[in-house]
Amino acid sequence: AFDSRLYAAEDQILTSFFTTRTIPIPDCFSAAKPTSKTSKEIYVGMQGASEFVFSGVLGHFNYTPQLPEIANPVQLL
């Protein structure tokens, strides 16, 4: 239940440990979160319902076969 208060509290903890790696979470990180209905729909469509659940378009993204085509140095995670 990604819209529950319990998940919101868990998300704060997970974010501080695994995403920002600092407590408290920096204001700049919080300010960058999607706030409008449209931006939330785009985020969920690409990422999934949470930073910690990959189920959107990016959930099955695999660029490995195209790596030889990249001419510039990049870091792809």
Q: Is 19 inside any structural domain?
A: yes
- Report DSSP letters for 17-73, one per residue: IIIS-SSSPPHHHHHTS--SHHHHHHHHHHT-SBTTB--SGGGG---GGGGGG--S-
**Domain total in the chain:** 1
Q: Which amino acid is at 22?
A: T
**pTM more than 0.75:** no
Beta-carbon contacts of 26 under 8 Å, excluding residues fewer than 6 positions away, are 20
Find the domain containing 44 and state its range: 5-69
Interval 39-50: pLDDT, tens: 888 888 888 888
Q: Is 36 inside any structural domain?
A: yes
Q: Answer yes or no: is pLDDT of 69 > 90.
A: yes
Q: Is 37 inside any structural domain?
A: yes
Q: Is 77 inside any structural domain?
A: no
Q: Is 76 inside any structural domain?
A: no
